[in-house]
Amino acid sequence: MTDEHGEPAPLDGNGLGGVLGAFLGVDVTDAILVCDGCGRQQVLAALVVFGAGPGGVARCRGCSHVMLRVAEIRNELVVDLRGTTRLRLRRP
Amino acid sequence: MPGPLPWLPAYLVERRPETAAAATLVLGVPGWPGHLPGQHVDVRLTADDGYSTQRSYSLAAPDHGATVELTVQRVADGEVSPFLVDDLAIGDPVELRGPVGGWFVWSPTLPTRTLLVAGGSGVVPLMAMVRARHEAGAAAPMRLVYSVRTPDDVLYAAELERRGRLDEGLEIHVVHTRRAPPGDARPTGRLTREEIGSLAWPATEEVLTYVCGPTGFVDQVAGDLVALGYDDHRIRTERFGATGG
Amino acid sequence: MGIVTPGFRGRGRDSAPELPPGQYLTHDFPVLSAGPTPHVETDDWALTVTTEAGARSRWSWRDLLALPQETPTVDLHCVTKWSKLGTRWRGVSLDVLLEDVETAADFALVRCFDGYTTNLPLEDLLDGQAWVAHEYDGEPLARAHGGPARLLVPHLYLWKSAKWISGIELSDTDEPGFWEQLGYHDYGDPWREQRYAGD
Ligand SMILES: Cc1cc2nc3c(=O)[nH]c(=O)nc-3n(C[C@H](O)[C@H](O)[C@H](O)COP(=O)(O)OP(=O)(O)OC[C@H]3O[C@@H](n4cnc5c(N)ncnc54)[C@H](O)[C@@H]3O)c2cc1C
Ligand SMILES: [Zn+2]
């Protein structure tokens, strides 16, 4: 998805809710994540998400650090969390 | 959410034109688990040669059992939206996955004031909130500020006008960016920070805010609200990408 | 396969001639990005090749343009399943860039101005198979498509053709890049449908 200047117009973490929910069985868009780059705390729904490539890339809204990478690989969901220091989930 | 989300077959029951560029699709979804205002679904379309693609669409109405409503605005040259607005035939299937979302959701039992700010088709999930408030007879005040290009682009125009007139504690403000209706005192143009400040409750009040629309619009409004002193943690946002302005 | 929606065709797809398995033909040039598009001025642009011994070679924008240029016309195959045929590029062959680089390395890790990385065997950058491209269809390469310059390795899936290339590290070990870390294929041959590790 691009805007009129051909720039990618990112989505946000709400858009990742479907694929994550399909595998995890719980909604995680309200999970709280702490950025490994700048320490900012934010809900998953508020992350900046680039979704059109081989997978989804979620970046910190403060410093643009890559916090999550998500891909559906065959029948698996793979989530790379190396940009996230801490992840907090509410009991469903 | 009652377990992993499967793809559910959904059948077009009815198509209601909303504007020249948008239509509401009423879909029958056997086994639909129910949903909350603000949630969306992923829609998957598959061609006969196996090619498939998916997009997200907000649920436009509160939970009414096994039918759901989506309002889709046509994006020029879009792959999915023109097909849904113009071509999907009554009785034909698509696949839905949902309901999706646990943060960008609203409940009529919330005691606080709710500020809704919509840009273009971003009004769709906020309309589900306006409708849910009406159906529940909820009393907590709600304001909708809806930015749209021209009067012809206003989704749910008649219903919004009626709700604003009849529902106690609900205010509707439509602002036009390109062309205003005759007699509108407001000059056309984008929603400014000052204007948001004057339409919203003071930042000192306890207000929960929902902002939805094209990414640029949401970024702008959320930034303005924070600059006006609104607490970042009480602003919920949902971005639709480049579309929907 | 999901339930078929009658009448749905998808965007601009033609009945495809000979395409790699699982691919569909497109006439657009979709922009796929993992992040914001970096603004790299040609004055600030440079390409650095680092060997396994730590030796560096560096080319400025002027250096790049002063090298012999080629104009490959190639087919592109994206792992997200679209293929685009007959795309026209201009750039410098990696054979030229690596000609005087002293190396016995087997692998290359490509680095980019936006932090993106991708890995591939060094031999796939050689023998007329790869370019640092800076023009597309007769115009300077648009930023959204990797301008000022991107890697072009059309015989592998397009995620290997890294946009906004800034460097190539040569190494004896194969270090997975941005998508390869998640489970995308280290090689990525579209004709063998090597989308994921193990394919
Ligand atoms: C959580 C969520 C909820 C959503 N809810 C709704 C909803 O309720 N109703 C609704 O109508 N949409 C909604 N959307 C947007 C929807 O998912 C699609 O993005 C939209 O329908 C366009 O899809 P498409 O296949 O028609 O266009 P695509 O084929 O995906 O893209 C259209 C093409 O046009 C370009 N383009 C798109 N918009 C513009 C623009 N404004 N200016 C210039 N170029 C542009 C793009 O770069 C792209 O190349 C929602 C999105 C999300 C993430
Ligand atoms: Zn950060």
What does the pLDDT read at residue B243? 62
What does the pLDDT read at residue C27? 85
Please, what is the angle between helix B123-136 and helix B157-166, to 10°? 40
**Tokens standing for residue C88:** 């026209």
Max CA-CA distance within chain C? 59
Residue B208 lies in a domain: yes
Above pLDDT 90, what percent of chain B? 91
Instruction: Give the CATH number of the domain where residue B42 resides.
Output: 2.40.30.10
- Reply yes or no on whether the pLDDT at A3 is more than 60: no
Instruction: Give the CATH number of the domain where residue B186 resides.
Output: 3.40.50.80
B94 neighbourhood in chain C, CB within 8 Å: 3, 5
Contact status of B52 with chain C (Cβ, < 8 Å) = yes
**Tokens standing for residue A34:** 């702490």
Confidence of residue A8 (pLDDT cuts 50, 70, 90): low
What does the pLDDT read at residue A6? 55
Q: Are residues B134 and B79 part of one domain?
A: no
**Nearest-ligand number for the alpha carbon of B38:** 1
Kindly report the protein residue whose alpha carbon is nearest to atom 4 of ligand 1: B57
Residue C86 lies in a domain: no
What does the pLDDT read at residue B86? 97
Residue C173 lies in a domain: yes
Round to whole Å and give the CA distance between B237 and B243: 16
Matching residue, tokens 């924070």: B226
Give me the interface pTM, i.e. the ipTM. Answer: 0.93
pLDDT digits (tens, 9 = 90+) for B32-41: 999 999 999 9
Given B67, B100, B133, the domain boundary residue is B100
Cis preceding linkage at B33, omega within 30:
no
Judge: A21–B5 Cβ closer than 8 Å, yes or no.
Answer: yes
**Tokens standing for residue C59:** 């080319």
Judge: B45–C7 Cβ closer than 8 Å, yes or no.
Answer: no
Q: Which of A11, A19, A63, A69 to mutate to test the interface with C (most CBs of C within 10 A)?
A: A69
Given B45, B67, B100, the domain boundary residue is B100
What does the pLDDT read at residue B227? 96
Judge: C37–A7 Cβ closer than 8 Å, yes or no.
Answer: yes
What does the pLDDT read at residue B244? 46
Residue C18 lies in a domain: no
Q: How many domains does chain B have?
A: 2
What does the pLDDT read at residue A1? 42
* Low-confidence residues of chain B: pLDDT under 50: 1, 244-245
Round to whole Å and give the CA distance between C94 and C13: 33
A50 neighbourhood in chain C, CB within 8 Å: 33-35
Above pLDDT 70, what percent of chain A? 91
Q: Are residues B219 and B125 part of one domain?
A: yes
pLDDT digits (tens, 9 = 90+) for B128-145: 999 999 999 999 999 999
Instruction: Give the CATH number of the domain where residue C163 resides.
Output: 3.90.420.10
Q: Which atom of ligand 1 is nearest to the CA of C11?
A: 29
Residue C19 lies in a domain: no
Q: Are residues B229 and B121 part of one domain?
A: yes
In which domain, by residue range, is B53 found? 8-100
Contact status of C36 with chain B (Cβ, < 8 Å) = no
Q: How many domains does chain C have?
A: 1
Residue C76 lies in a domain: no
Residue B106 lies in a domain: no
**Tokens standing for residue C43:** 């004055």
Given B75, B100, B125, the domain boundary residue is B100
- Consecutive 10-residue runs of chain C (199 residues): their mean pLDDT? 91 75 88 92 98 98 98 96 95 97 98 97 98 98 97 98 98 97 97 95
In which domain, by residue range, is C136 found? 42-70+92-192
Q: Are residues B122 and B41 part of one domain?
A: no
Round to whole Å and give the CA distance between C49 and B134: 65
Q: Are residues B71 and B34 part of one domain?
A: yes
Residue C48 lies in a domain: yes
Evaluate whether C184 touches C118 at the Cβ level (below 8 Å): no
Angle at C161 between CA C156 and CA C162, to 5 degrees: 145
Round to whole Å and give the CA distance between B131 and B61: 7
What does the pLDDT read at residue C26? 87
Measuring CA to CA, which residue among B19, B23, B63 is closest to residue B41?
B63
Q: Are residues B211 and B176 part of one domain?
A: yes
Q: Are residues B220 and B132 part of one domain?
A: yes
pLDDT digits (tens, 9 = 90+) for A52-65: 789 999 999 999 99
Judge: B47–C6 Cβ closer than 8 Å, yes or no.
Answer: no
Round to whole Å and give the CA distance between C25 and C14: 6
A44 neighbourhood in chain B, CB within 8 Å: 103
Say which amino acid occupies A47: L
How far is residue B239 CA from its own chain's centroid? 11
B231-236 long-range contacts (CB < 8 A, ≥24 apart) are B231/B203, B234/B206, B234/B207, B234/B208, B234/B209, B235/B209, B235/B211, B236/A45, B236/B103, B236/B104, B236/B208, B236/B209, B236/B210, B236/B211
Residue B105 lies in a domain: no
Task: Identify the residues whose C-beta falls under 6 Å from ligand 1.
Answer: A 1-4, 11, 14-15; B 40, 55-58, 71-73, 75, 77-81, 121, 124, 238, 240-245
What does the pLDDT read at residue C30? 87
